[in-house]
Amino acid sequence: MSDVEVRNNSENSRYEAWLDGERAGLAAYETRPGSIVFTHTEVDDRYAGQGVGGALAKGALDDVRAGGGAYDVIPLCSFIKGYIDKHPEYADLVHEDGA
């Protein structure tokens, strides 16, 4: 399997996972003043079980972190929340009340 490329498609308010030239998944978000709210994550069935979802979550969270604190994260999406729970190195990005 090739590496998953994660892109912020800010025009459509979503991070996209690309694999072999095809969009394999997305993580939708909304922005609020000072926060990015992850609302939904999905991976195309053809790519299920191949690590696309994890790569997408990591790429999106790394991009938020690269913003230098411009946004904190509100993980309404259960997949993003679960990823953060399993990877505590991202816990500092979460909005202080978690929602």
pLDDT over 80 at 2, yes or no = no
pLDDT at 1: 47
Cα–Cα distance, 21 to 51 (Å, whole number): 16
Which residues, in sequence order, are bridge partners of residue 25?
A: 17, 43
Render the burial of 65-79: b for 16+ CB within 10 Å, e for the rest.
Answer: eeeeeebbbbbebeb
Domains located in the chain, CATH noted: 5-93 (3.40.630.30)
Mean pLDDT of 31-38: 95
Mean pLDDT of 77-91: 97
Mean pLDDT of 69-98: 92
pLDDT over 80 at 65, yes or no = yes
